[in-house]
Chains A and B, each alone.
Chain A
C-alpha cells in the first residue's frame, strides 16, 4: 500500500476479510470482498454494509448558521425541522458545483454537512472563504468520525437487532436520531443512503464503528466495497461528484434543479442557475440504453449515425439488476429528449442506443 494513503478505522477489518483494496479519494479503500455482483445483489435483495468512514463531516454553528448554510447551499434549510436532512449542492457563482452534500439540521443548534471524501479540504476552505460577515463557527471534524452505510430491504431489521431499539423502525426517510454510547459519545443514525434501497447511515466514534461492523458481520450482513456502491447508485440514477456533477457540470445540466430553491432570496450561483433553468443549457446529463451487451465506459464518445460526436459517457455499466448496458452521458441538449437515437463508440465499433430515463432502477425507499 502507498504509504501516503490514509486509512479508515475499519482498514484492518477489510484486510482480514481479504478485500481487494485500491486508492480512492486519498484513502486505501475496499473495492470488493466476495465480488461486485454478489455484493450488489445482497444490497438489492437482503442487506449489505459499506465502510464510508472516508466521507467528511463538517459542522456549522453560531447565530448566523441558518443564513450561512442557505447562502452556500442550493436547497432551503429554513424549512427544515431539527432531525431533518436535505440533499443539495454547493455551487460557484458561475453555477459549477463545489460539491454535493447532505445537510443535517441539529436538534440543539447548527448543522452537520456530510461531504465527499475527495472534497473535504476544498469544501472546508470554500466554506471558510464564504463565511466572512457571517457569525458562524465552521469545524472539520472528519477525522473523529467513522461511518457505516447499512443498505437493503433487510437493513431495518439488522439495525434494530444491533442496537436493540425498536423505535429505530420509525425513523423516516431523510431524518436522523441522536443516540449516546456508554461513554457519552455521540451516535447519529439517519435513514439515508446511496443505493436506491431503504437503509441507514450510522456515524460514530472509530471504536463504536469497529464494534458495529463486527456485530453486523456476525449477523450475516454482507460487507460491500466501493465497486458495488457505484453500480448501485448508478442504477438508482444518483450522480457521482466528478462524473455527473463538477465545476463544469451544473445541477441544472445534471437534471437536479429540484434541489435548487430559486424562491430563496439568494444563494451562491443562484443567478446563473436560474438563468440556465429558464433559458436552457447547452449540454445535459442523460441516460442511454444500448441495444447490445457491449459496455459503455466513462470517456467513450457519444455520436450521431453519421459519426458526429455530440457527447461523452460519464458512467456506464452492464447493469447488474436490469441486465442491460446503460450509461449516463453528457450530450448536446438537442439530443437529450427521451427516445433520441444515439450511438456509442466502444473501441473500434459503434453501437446504437437511445435516450431513456436516468432513473434506470425503481428505487425502494421507505417514505
Chain B
C-alpha cells in the first residue's frame, strides 16, 4: 500500500504539491516511486527556468525506464533539490521528504484543479 499524505495536493500524473504562500514545493507520490522501482537518476531543471502547468520539467529514471515529470503549476523555478543528483534513492526512501523543485507560482488558481488526498487515493491504487 502506498502512502498518501493529507494536506498535500496531487496531480493525476502522480506529483504532489505543498503550498507555502505563493511557492509550490513539488515532488512525486509514494505510489509513483513504488511503481518505478529503484530510482537511479533525477533530471532536474535549472533555477530560473519558466515552466508551464502540465508541461514536462524533468525526469526520474529507474534502472529500467525513464519517467517524465510534469509540473502541476506554472511559474519560475525558485530552487532545485541538488541533493537528488548524488542521492536519487532519496525519492524511494521517502517520496514526500524528497522534494524535487520549488516553483514561484504565476497563477495560484491552477491549484484548484489539483486533487486532495482522498481524490488522489482513488487513482493511486
Q: Give residues in A with beta carbon < 8 Å to B.
A: 20, 31-32, 35-37, 40, 227-228, 230-231, 293-295, 297, 317-318, 320, 346-347
Contacts and interface: CB of A to CB of B under 8 A. Distances in A.
Contacts of B43: 294, 346-347
B38 A295 contact: no
A32 B36 CA distance: 11
A233 B43 CA distance: 26
B66 A36 contact: no
Interface in B53-84: 56, 59, 61-66
B41 A318 contact: yes
B40 interface: yes
Contacts of B37: 20, 32, 35-36, 227
B41 A36 contact: no
Contacts of A228: 63
Contacts of B62: 36
The 4 closest A-B CB pairs, nearest first, are: A36-B63, A318-B40, A37-B38, A295-B61
A230 B64 CA distance: 9
Interface string B88-108: 000000000000000000000
27 contacts: A31-B64, A35-B37, A35-B38, A36-B37, A36-B62, A37-B38, A40-B63, A227-B37, A227-B63, A227-B64, A228-B63, A230-B64, A231-B63, A293-B41, A293-B85, A294-B41, A294-B43, A295-B41, A295-B61, A295-B66, A297-B65, A317-B63, A318-B40, A318-B61, A346-B43, A347-B56, A347-B59
A31 B62 CA distance: 13
Given A32-B37, A37-B40, A227-B64, 12 more contacts: A36-B62, A227-B37, A230-B64, A231-B63, A293-B41, A293-B85, A295-B61, A297-B65, A318-B41, A318-B61, A347-B43, A347-B56
Contacts of A317: 63
A304 B38 CA distance: 32
B63 A318 contact: yes
A231 B62 CA distance: 12
A37 B39 CA distance: 10
Given A294-B43, A347-B43, A36 B38 contact: yes
Contact of A297 (B38, B40, B66, B85): B66
Given A295-B40, A347-B43, A36 B61 contact: no
Contacts, number: 40
Interface residues on B, range: 10 to 19
Give the residue among B37, B38, B59, B64 with the most A Cβ atoms within 10 A: B64
A295 B43 CA distance: 10
Contacts of B63: 36-37, 40, 227-228, 231, 317-318, 320
B59 A36 contact: no
A346 B41 CA distance: 13
Interface in B1-57: 37-38, 40-41, 43, 56
A317 B85 CA distance: 16
A81 to B, nearest CB: 40
Nearest to B86: A293
Contacts of B64: 31, 36, 227, 230
Contacts of A40: 63
Contacts of B40: 37, 295, 318
A293 B61 CA distance: 10
A230 B62 CA distance: 14
A297 B68 CA distance: 13
Nearest to B34: A20
Contacts of A294: 41, 43
A346 B62 CA distance: 15
B49 to A, nearest CB: 11
Contacts of B59: 347
A317 B56 CA distance: 22
Contacts of B41: 293-295, 318
Contacts of A293: 41, 85
Nearest to B63: A36
